Amino acid sequence: MSNNHIELQSDTQTRPTKDMREAIASAEVGDEQGFNDPSVTVLVERVAELFGKESAVFLPSGTMCNQISAAVHCGPGDDIIAERSAHIVGVEAGGISVLARAGAYPIDGDRGVFTAEQAEAAVRAPWRYAPRTRVISIEQTANLAGGTVWPLETIRSVVEVGKRHELKMHMDGARLLNAVVASGIAARDYTQGFDSVWLDLSKGLGCPVGAVLAGSSEFIDKAWRWKQRIGGSMRQAGIIAAAGIYALDHNVERMAEDHANAKVLAQKLASLPGLHVEPDHVETNIIIIDVSASSADAATWSKRLGEEGVRLAPIGPQKLRALTHLDVTAEEVVQAGEVFATLAEGELRAS
């Protein structure tokens, strides 16, 4: 329970635990931009190793990882192929058109996942009048689509398309470790063939801030220039890197609990009148709840749930998104289900 409510709005809402705070307090630190911060060095080397890449760089946010990757890979007028619901397409304030001066070519996938055939069809033929297709980006897991895990075979076939057309492959791995825990497939198997891939520390891993972007040494050198340029270079960043190291040691395997909690909540919600949830589609820690068959819209649901101590946000006029994480217990998930039930069977019942 966070501050007397059940926090299902996002896995970004976790507070650092006592043990994580102790790791932060005792962190060895130095000058990050001078490559002299020992904690940052440990963290980036661990993530590079995890992803099977030559090098990695610590950044303040996942958004900055996406934006810097786009800026390194693209030139003005280039296209980035991505699924329509992807964060890089719709939730980064149009950043790719500002920094990279690139555009998005959105594909309508199935729960956030597109096929090799769709990727192939999205690659533009070289033509003086057309944008140049430059990058294929995938989001593992697909957040706004409901935390879908991209199947490894699908990823491999999309990478194959990218390589055939000499495109850069980018993976938004904000929740990549959720996919690893859910599937049992190693991170480096998912990231094979990608030119850039990153991991968010401030989501399921429970850190207060930070993300790590990995790739070839050449890519990371270029990423560092962008980091410097846009003010992402830090000083005694070991303070926050220590939380990341702690999280990699302690908070990865436990995400299975978040996935189990999400499943329990989804099953409860699916049994309630006026709510549509597909428990079989809940593969990780994200649940999409369609309220269109109830007598209220998503904003009203969100408001009433909040008043009853359950916080979660609409992601559309008729849709809510609930996320489980380190700060939500199995008991709270049951309690949240009961609050939903009271509303669904009472004042917000099916119309």
Ligand X SMILES: Cc1ncc(COP(=O)(O)O)c(C=O)c1O
Residues forming contacts to ligand X in the complex (CB under 6 A) are 61-63, 66, 87, 139, 143, 172, 174, 200, 202, 211
Paired sense of beta strands 78-83 and 103-107, if any: parallel
Give whichever of 275 and 312 is closer to ligand X, judged by the CB atom. 312
CB of 59 to ligand X, least distance (A): 9
Give whichever of 13 and 202 is closer to ligand X, judged by the CB atom. 202
The C-alpha atoms of residue 170 and residue 221 are separated, in whole angstroms, by: 16
Asked if 215 and 52 touch (Cβ cutoff 8 Å), the reply is: no
Give whichever of 13 and 154 is closer to ligand X, judged by the CB atom. 13
Instruction: List helix spans (H) across 165-288.
Output: 176-183, 187-191, 217-229, 238-250, 255-270
Give whichever of 155 and 296 is closer to ligand X, judged by the CB atom. 155
CB of 61 to ligand X, least distance (A): 3
CB of 282 to ligand X, least distance (A): 16
CB of 205 to ligand X, least distance (A): 11
CB of 129 to ligand X, least distance (A): 32
Q: Dihedral through CA 342, CA 310, CA 337, CA 200, nearest 10? A: 160
Q: Bridge partners of 2?
A: 5
CB of 309 to ligand X, least distance (A): 24
Give whichever of 14 and 202 is closer to ligand X, judged by the CB atom. 202
Q: In the bound complex, which residue of the shown chain has the CB atom lying closest to ligand X?
A: 62
**Buried b vs exposed e over 188-221: b needs ≥16 C-beta within 10 Å?**
eebbbebbbbbbbbbbbbbbbbbbbbbbeeebbe
Give whichever of 30 and 208 is closer to ligand X, judged by the CB atom. 208
CB of 151 to ligand X, least distance (A): 18
Asked if 291 and 301 touch (Cβ cutoff 8 Å), the reply is: yes
DSSP of 118-153:
HHHHHSPPP-TTSPEEEEEEEESSBTTTTSBPPPHH
Q: How far is CA 272 from CA 48, 188, 233, 323, in A?
A: 45, 40, 49, 19
Give whichever of 32 and 139 is closer to ligand X, judged by the CB atom. 139
Asked if 214 and 198 touch (Cβ cutoff 8 Å), the reply is: yes
